[in-house]
Amino acid sequence: MAHELPELPYAKDALEPHISSETLDYHHDKHHAAYVNNLNNLVPGTEFEKMSLEDIIKNAPAGGIFNNAAQVWNHTFYFNGMGPGGGGNPDGAVSDVINSTFGSFDEFKEKFSKSAATNFGSGWTWLVKNAAGGLEIVNTDDADSALKVGTPLLTIDVWEHAYYVDKRNARPAYIESWWNLVNWDFVSANFDG
Protein backbone atom coordinates (compact mmCIF):
# COMPACT_ATOMS: atom_id res chain seq x y z
CA MET A 1 0.00 0.00 0.00
CA ALA A 2 1.43 3.37 -0.96
CA HIS A 3 1.13 6.00 1.72
CA GLU A 4 0.22 9.54 0.67
CA LEU A 5 0.97 12.96 2.07
CA PRO A 6 -2.32 14.24 3.48
CA GLU A 7 -3.35 17.73 2.46
CA LEU A 8 -3.38 20.31 5.21
CA PRO A 9 -6.94 20.84 6.50
CA TYR A 10 -6.56 24.61 6.02
CA ALA A 11 -4.78 27.07 3.75
CA LYS A 12 -1.05 27.51 4.41
CA ASP A 13 -1.53 31.08 5.61
CA ALA A 14 -4.53 30.23 7.82
CA LEU A 15 -2.47 29.79 11.00
CA GLU A 16 -0.75 33.18 10.76
CA PRO A 17 0.47 35.02 12.76
CA HIS A 18 1.09 32.03 15.06
CA ILE A 19 2.60 29.69 12.47
CA SER A 20 3.69 31.16 9.14
CA SER A 21 3.05 29.80 5.68
CA GLU A 22 6.84 29.60 5.32
CA THR A 23 7.01 27.24 8.30
CA LEU A 24 4.26 25.08 6.78
CA ASP A 25 6.12 25.07 3.44
CA TYR A 26 9.06 23.45 5.20
CA HIS A 27 7.25 21.48 7.87
CA HIS A 28 4.47 19.95 5.77
CA ASP A 29 5.71 20.11 2.19
CA LYS A 30 9.31 19.10 2.91
CA HIS A 31 9.65 17.30 6.28
CA HIS A 32 6.27 15.53 6.32
CA ALA A 33 6.56 14.70 2.61
CA ALA A 34 10.05 13.26 3.12
CA TYR A 35 8.77 10.88 5.80
CA VAL A 36 6.03 9.68 3.42
CA ASN A 37 8.53 9.19 0.59
CA ASN A 38 11.02 7.42 2.86
CA LEU A 39 8.35 5.07 4.16
CA ASN A 40 7.18 4.24 0.63
CA ASN A 41 10.77 3.42 -0.31
CA LEU A 42 11.33 1.23 2.76
CA VAL A 43 8.23 -0.98 2.99
CA PRO A 44 8.10 -2.77 -0.40
CA GLY A 45 8.91 -6.45 0.03
CA THR A 46 8.54 -6.34 3.83
CA GLU A 47 5.82 -7.63 6.13
CA PHE A 48 4.77 -3.98 6.58
CA GLU A 49 4.01 -3.39 2.90
CA LYS A 50 0.22 -3.66 3.25
CA MET A 51 -0.16 -2.39 6.83
CA SER A 52 -1.78 0.84 7.92
CA LEU A 53 0.41 3.44 9.63
CA GLU A 54 -1.08 2.48 13.00
CA ASP A 55 -0.27 -1.20 12.49
CA ILE A 56 3.27 -0.41 11.37
CA ILE A 57 3.80 1.76 14.47
CA LYS A 58 2.48 -0.96 16.75
CA ASN A 59 4.47 -3.78 15.12
CA ALA A 60 7.68 -2.48 13.57
CA PRO A 61 10.93 -2.64 15.53
CA ALA A 62 12.95 0.51 16.12
CA GLY A 63 14.55 1.71 12.93
CA GLY A 64 13.78 3.29 9.60
CA ILE A 65 10.35 1.82 8.89
CA PHE A 66 9.06 2.59 12.38
CA ASN A 67 10.60 6.07 12.45
CA ASN A 68 9.13 7.15 9.14
CA ALA A 69 5.69 5.61 9.75
CA ALA A 70 5.47 7.23 13.18
CA GLN A 71 6.57 10.59 11.82
CA VAL A 72 3.94 10.44 9.07
CA TRP A 73 1.24 9.60 11.62
CA ASN A 74 2.46 12.08 14.27
CA HIS A 75 2.66 14.96 11.80
CA THR A 76 -0.77 14.23 10.33
CA PHE A 77 -2.22 14.17 13.84
CA TYR A 78 -0.41 17.41 14.77
CA PHE A 79 -1.59 19.32 11.69
CA ASN A 80 -5.18 18.16 12.23
CA GLY A 81 -5.04 19.25 15.87
CA MET A 82 -4.70 22.90 14.87
CA GLY A 83 -6.85 25.29 12.93
CA PRO A 84 -7.72 28.89 12.27
CA GLY A 85 -10.09 30.15 14.91
CA GLY A 86 -8.77 27.55 17.35
CA GLY A 87 -7.59 28.11 20.86
CA GLY A 88 -9.64 29.10 23.84
CA ASN A 89 -10.90 26.55 26.32
CA PRO A 90 -12.41 23.15 25.60
CA ASP A 91 -15.97 22.34 26.58
CA GLY A 92 -18.03 19.24 27.21
CA ALA A 93 -16.57 15.94 28.40
CA VAL A 94 -12.97 16.90 27.54
CA SER A 95 -13.24 20.02 29.67
CA ASP A 96 -14.73 18.05 32.57
CA VAL A 97 -11.95 15.42 32.48
CA ILE A 98 -9.21 18.04 32.15
CA ASN A 99 -10.60 19.92 35.15
CA SER A 100 -10.98 16.79 37.27
CA THR A 101 -7.52 15.49 36.33
CA PHE A 102 -5.47 18.67 36.51
CA GLY A 103 -7.57 20.93 38.76
CA SER A 104 -8.42 23.46 36.05
CA PHE A 105 -7.77 24.21 32.42
CA ASP A 106 -5.16 26.80 33.41
CA GLU A 107 -3.29 24.21 35.50
CA PHE A 108 -3.44 21.72 32.62
CA LYS A 109 -2.16 24.35 30.18
CA GLU A 110 0.71 25.22 32.53
CA LYS A 111 1.71 21.55 33.03
CA PHE A 112 1.43 20.72 29.33
CA SER A 113 3.45 23.80 28.34
CA LYS A 114 6.15 23.03 30.90
CA SER A 115 6.34 19.42 29.71
CA ALA A 116 6.68 20.57 26.08
CA ALA A 117 9.26 23.25 26.92
CA THR A 118 11.42 20.81 28.90
CA ASN A 119 11.05 17.84 26.52
CA PHE A 120 14.77 17.38 25.89
CA GLY A 121 15.90 17.43 22.29
CA SER A 122 13.47 16.56 19.52
CA GLY A 123 10.11 14.98 20.17
CA TRP A 124 6.46 15.40 20.94
CA THR A 125 4.28 16.28 23.92
CA TRP A 126 0.87 14.61 24.03
CA LEU A 127 -2.39 14.63 25.91
CA VAL A 128 -3.39 10.96 26.04
CA LYS A 129 -6.45 9.09 27.29
CA ASN A 130 -5.16 6.02 29.09
CA ALA A 131 -6.80 2.59 29.30
CA ALA A 132 -8.70 3.62 32.44
CA GLY A 133 -10.19 6.65 30.65
CA GLY A 134 -8.03 9.14 32.55
CA LEU A 135 -5.78 11.76 31.03
CA GLU A 136 -1.99 11.92 31.04
CA ILE A 137 0.60 14.28 29.62
CA VAL A 138 3.27 12.20 27.88
CA ASN A 139 6.55 13.19 26.25
CA THR A 140 7.99 11.05 23.48
CA ASP A 141 11.44 11.32 21.96
CA ASP A 142 12.31 11.62 18.30
CA ALA A 143 9.75 9.69 16.19
CA ASP A 144 8.13 7.77 19.02
CA SER A 145 4.35 7.91 19.15
CA ALA A 146 1.81 8.06 21.96
CA LEU A 147 -0.16 5.38 20.11
CA LYS A 148 1.93 2.96 22.15
CA VAL A 149 0.64 4.24 25.50
CA GLY A 150 -3.00 5.17 24.97
CA THR A 151 -5.38 7.15 22.79
CA PRO A 152 -3.74 10.39 21.63
CA LEU A 153 -6.00 13.41 21.98
CA LEU A 154 -3.66 16.31 21.25
CA THR A 155 0.01 16.83 20.41
CA ILE A 156 2.56 19.55 19.91
CA ASP A 157 5.62 18.95 17.78
CA VAL A 158 8.72 20.21 19.59
CA TRP A 159 11.23 19.34 16.89
CA GLU A 160 12.98 22.57 15.93
CA HIS A 161 11.64 22.42 12.37
CA ALA A 162 8.17 23.10 13.82
CA TYR A 163 9.13 26.56 15.04
CA TYR A 164 12.62 27.65 14.01
CA VAL A 165 11.56 29.80 11.02
CA ASP A 166 9.08 31.78 13.16
CA LYS A 167 10.54 31.67 16.66
CA ARG A 168 14.21 30.71 16.11
CA ASN A 169 15.27 28.88 19.28
CA ALA A 170 12.44 30.23 21.49
CA ARG A 171 10.47 27.02 22.07
CA PRO A 172 8.40 28.53 24.94
CA ALA A 173 7.24 31.37 22.65
CA TYR A 174 6.17 28.82 20.03
CA ILE A 175 4.27 26.80 22.65
CA GLU A 176 2.46 29.89 23.93
CA SER A 177 1.50 30.88 20.39
CA TRP A 178 0.41 27.31 19.54
CA TRP A 179 -2.33 27.42 22.20
CA ASN A 180 -4.14 29.94 19.95
CA LEU A 181 -4.51 27.24 17.30
CA VAL A 182 -5.66 24.17 19.24
CA ASN A 183 -8.65 22.55 17.54
CA TRP A 184 -10.74 21.47 20.53
CA ASP A 185 -13.33 19.82 18.26
CA PHE A 186 -10.55 17.49 17.05
CA VAL A 187 -9.55 16.76 20.66
CA SER A 188 -13.18 16.04 21.61
CA ALA A 189 -13.63 13.72 18.63
CA ASN A 190 -10.52 11.77 19.67
CA PHE A 191 -11.74 11.62 23.25
CA ASP A 192 -15.20 10.37 22.22
CA GLY A 193 -13.88 7.98 19.57
Q: 66: exposed, middle or buried (C-beta count within 10 Å: 0-12, 13-18, 19+)?
A: buried
Chain mean pLDDT for the chain: 97
> Which of 3.40.1160.10, 3.55.40.20, 3.60.15.10, 3.40.605.10 would CATH assign to domain 92-192?
3.55.40.20
Q: Residue 68's pLDDT is what? A: 98
Q: Which parts of the chain register pLDDT below 50?
A: none
Q: Residue 129's pLDDT is what? A: 97
pTM across the whole model: 0.98
Q: Residue 184's pLDDT is what? A: 98
Cα–Cα distance measured from residue 60 to residue 69, given in angstroms and rounded to the nearest whole number: 9
Tell me if 21-80 shares its fold with 92-192: no
- Kindly report the length of the chain: 193
Q: Residue 193's pLDDT is what? A: 86
CATH code at 21-80:
1.10.287.990
